[in-house]
Every structure is written in structure tokens, then in C-alpha cells.
Structure 1
Amino acid sequence: MFSKKSIVLLILVFALWNCERDDICAESTPTTPRLIIEFNDINNLENSKAVRQLTVIGIDENGNDINTLISRTNTNEVSLPLRIIAEGVTNTSRYKFIRDADFDMDDNPETASNTDIITITYLPEFVFVSRACGFKSIFNSIGINSENDDSIWILAEQLNTDNVENENNAHITLFH
């Protein structure tokens, strides 16, 4: 009735017909955004100001280092991941911001680095993107608190938005 060629061709047609474009998540698809923090000059609030030799370390609830996210970089902006514990409850991410991190290479206390701890609170929400991409998280009700050591370098903070839904603009501005 059917030749072997016809059967193979028919199977190939059905296989290709059942493939959907949605089976692969495109790189351009928005995924869970990172928190964007910019640094500005405390003396001229609109001017960007780079932090010298910035290191950012994620820390747990007990103050123990989890991982180094940024290491000894001169920058005026960072993007950081937010930890997700559970949806619908307040989650917390804590970071050590170390300015002049290269100064810790000697034992001279006058040339020590300067560490401030920033705590970010938020309510994560899971949003369905597509069958191929699954879910992404957005972060609502953003809050910020800074803890400083004896020599403060982060002098003020400003929330630029209540929610983190994309990476288009800075969510928080830190002044130094």
C-alpha cells in the first residue's frame, strides 16, 4: 500500500508539523530582573560618582559571607541578584559593600577598606512567561536599610521605584 519512502516522509512531515516556535526560550525574552543600584555624588545629587575598588559580597542572615558578586571594580552602577525564599512573604537579601577593597592588602589600619551592609526587603511574585521559558520573578514593595561601620561611606540611599520588574533603570541610588 505505502512504500517505505512514503512512510518515512509522512513521519518526517508530522514531526516537523508538531514542533512549535515556543519550544525554545529566546534570549531576548525578559527573565527575572536583577536589582540595579547606581552611585551618585552626595555633594551633587544628580551626578554619577564611581566607587573606587568596590567589592560586593552576598551575606546570609547571620552575617556570614555567601559569595562574592563583584570584586575590586571601579564602577558607578551594579546589578545584583535577589534571593527568593518563598512567594508572597517578605524576603531579604543582604550585601557587604566594600569601598577601597585593595587597601586591605596591608595591615595598616589607616589604609583599611570601608564596609557598609545593605539589606533589601521585597515581596517576590512569580509571573508565567511562556511554556518554554517558564516563570520569572518580579519583586514588589522594595525596602532598603543600611548598616554602617565606624567610618560611613554610604551617606544616604534613595528608592527610585517600589517594584523591580525590569532592568531598564536604576532601582536604588546610593550617595557617597
Structure 2
Amino acid sequence: MISAIILAAGESKRMGQPKMLMPWGKSTVIQTVISVFQAAGVDDILVVTGGARKQVEALIGRSVQTIFNEKFAQGEMLSSVQAGLAAKKHEASAALICLGDQPQVQARTVQRILQEYKENRTPIIVPSYQMHRGHPWLVAREMWGEMLKMRPPETPREFLIRHAKIIRYIEFDSPAILQDIDTPEDYLQSKP
């Protein structure tokens, strides 16, 4: 089983309000991201919450699993990735690391990453657009031990740099893999 770990624990300080709850089309940012993974055929989805925990959990209901990142206020992504991986370490063979504030990600992107993993069991698969790494990226369970042992100020980016020689990059023709929404300007430029 491949799990999607959607990182939604940030405090949205630059946005000024919980961005996961913001409208996106006929839905919200977080619901759109969840829907993309469901449409791509990912059955096991875990949302890592933090700053707006109660609101996010109330919004998504029981449609997916949630876990609370107790270290969310430290403001770094590593603790959310670790919380998600720890919750799935006995269930999943791999995890897609996804940003909760990336509602433009496309189901076909997720499907292509899943296909690459199923065909070749590549331990790390990263989408790329014009030589820039994006999300979601996949990491096989055999690599999780190292990620779970990492400590701040280390970051998931450093993990990827350390394993650059074994990463399978998949080039995409859309910048959606790079686009998240951190500020009101990002939101207004990207909003459908």
C-alpha cells in the first residue's frame, strides 16, 4: 500500500488565516488536495494537522485519517513528515509526501509517480519542472528510518540532496508541482 501524507500543520502566518480552509473553486484548499489524491487512486490518505487542527478535522470529517503534529509550532516541515511516516510505518510500502497548500497538483502527476514506483520500486521519486524539484514526492519505506532519525535544523530537502544519486526524477510540463500558496498574493494569482 502507498500512503499519501498531506502536510497541513503550518500556522499560515504569511497568509494571515488558515489557508487549508480557504475557498478553492467549489471546495477548500485542503479538500481539493485530498480529492486529487482520491481521483488518482490513492486509498490511504493521512492529513498531518497542526495550527488549525480542529477546523481542518471538522472540515474533512472522517473521509481520511488525521494525526496531530505536536511540534507544529516549531515551523519546520520535518516534524510533520516524521509524524506521518511514524503513523504509517507498519502499513505502507511507500509514502507520497504532499503539501496541503498545493491545490493545483494534478491527479495525472500522482498517477505517473505511482506508476513509476509500481513498475520499478524506485526508492525515491521526485517530480521536476524545468530542473526544479516539486511535490508530491515518493519515498519507499526502506528509506524512512533515516528520515525518522533526522533532527532540526535538518530538512527533507537535505535528505533528498544526500540521496541525489538514487532519485528518479520525472519531468512534468506543468509548474503545478512547484506551486503552493503561502501569501495572499499567491492565493489571488492561483485561485481558480
Structure with the largest fraction of helix: 2
Q: TM-score under structure 2 normalisation?
A: 0.26
Structure with the largest fraction of strand: 1
Task: Choose 1 or 2 for highest CA Rg.
Answer: 1
Q: TM-score under structure 1 normalisation?
A: 0.28
